[in-house]
Amino acid sequence: MEQILVNLVVNARDSMPGGGRIAITAEACILGQSDVATTPEVHPGPFVLMKIADTGTGIPPEILPRIFEPFFTTKEAGKGTGLGLSTVYTLVKQHGGLIKVQSTLGKGTTFSIYLPAADAELHKIISNSAPPSELKHVWQTKFTQRFLVVEDDAAVQRMLVNLLNRYKISHVVVSDGVAALKAWETAERPFDVVISDIVMPNGLSGLQLARVLREKKPTLPIILITGFSDALSNPNALDLPGGRPTLINKPFNLAQLCTVIEKLVMAHPTP
């Protein structure tokens, strides 16, 4: 939900350079068979409808059909990756929901997100359940490795930083590959693990960064994050000096990330 809201609100903000109004609302609704006729993967029933509406410039009609395509963006170079709305679309679909958009030039845009509502009994079960078993012990584990985090998405960056803070892991965070290389070269203490997104701004991808760093340190543990298989269209792309890096596909949850970090750092203890 945080990723959905952040991406949509950032887009709304960017569409109102002179200021404006963003309204976020939620309400219960029922979708019938006719409402989901064109989306067989969505089943009729009770939903929660969340709307994010702005009073911005609107989306041109010729562009509207393409806004959920990966890497499609109308922003200037360096201002956006074209992955924000694609990520929103993927998340909504993975949760059995619908997303619709209405836009009028000069008047604004409204995104409507329909997510299946949980019934009262399910809500009770979730509320009373214990934390996932894979997280019960995880925060007691202590690691001495130093991490370099390379991520331009603010929501994912916060998730990674919060996790490393819970582990009490020393870390440095940068937003692109160029800054990562600078941090690597100027670090007073070497980095032991690198976590990097693959698709990043400023002309240096996470995969290219990984290759450069592995040439400097072939044994360096690297975790690469990606939301789109197209970023790895070359089947040999992950063949780096020292072996393949660990790959995490977006969207991922906290338990998955914990498991990957634990396995990786335990296999590569700090000298």
What is the DSSP annotation of 213-224?
HHHH-TT--EEE
Q: pLDDT tens string for the chain (271 positions)?
A: 888 898 899 989 999 999 999 999 999 888 888 888 888 888 888 899 999 999 999 998 888 888 887 756 665 544 554 567 888 888 898 888 999 999 999 999 999 999 998 765 555 544 454 445 545 555 566 678 899 999 988 878 888 888 888 878 899 999 999 999 999 999 989 999 999 998 888 888 888 999 999 999 999 999 998 875 544 555 566 788 888 888 887 767 677 788 888 888 777 776 6
Give domain limits for the chain: 2-121, 133-267
Give the Cα separation of 252 and 257 in Å (integer): 7
Residue 133 burial by Cβ neighbours in a 10 Å radius (0-12, 13-18, 19+):
exposed
- 3-state class of 110 per DSSP? strand
**Angle at the Cα of 213 from the Cα atoms of 208 and 214, rounded to 5 degrees:** 95
Which residue is it, tokens 């790895």?
Answer: 232
Q: Tell me how far apart the alpha carbons of residues 89 and 155 are, in angstroms, rounded to a whole number.
A: 16
Whether the Cβ atoms of residue 172 and residue 198 lie closer than 8 Å to each other: no
What CATH architecture applies to the domain 2-121? 2-Layer Sandwich (3.30)
DSSP string, 159-211: HHHHHHHHHT-EEEEESSHHHHHHHHHH-SS--SEEEEESS-STT--HHHHHH
Give the per-residue pLDDT at 164. Answer: 85
| Segments in 22-171 forming alpha helices (H) | 84-94, 120-128, 154-167
Which run of H or of E encompasses 9?
helix 2-14
pLDDT reported for residue 125: 47
Half-sphere exposure of 189 (CA within 13 A, CB side): 12
DSSP secondary structure code for residue 139 in this structure: G
Q: What are the CA-CA distances from residue 224 to residues 52, 96, 205 (Å)?
A: 31, 27, 10
pLDDT given for residue 149 in this prediction: 95
Q: What is the pLDDT of residue 138?
A: 56
Of 68, 69, 23, the residue nearest 50 (C-alpha): 23
Q: Is 118 helix (H, G, I), strand (E, B) or coil?
A: coil
Q: Would you give the DSSP letter of residue 69?
A: S
**Stretch (H or E) spanning 53:** strand 45-54
Model-level pTM greater than 0.85? Answer: no
Torsion of CA 186, 187, 188, 189, to 10 degrees: -150
Q: Report whether CATH 3.40.50.2300 matches the domain 133-267.
A: yes
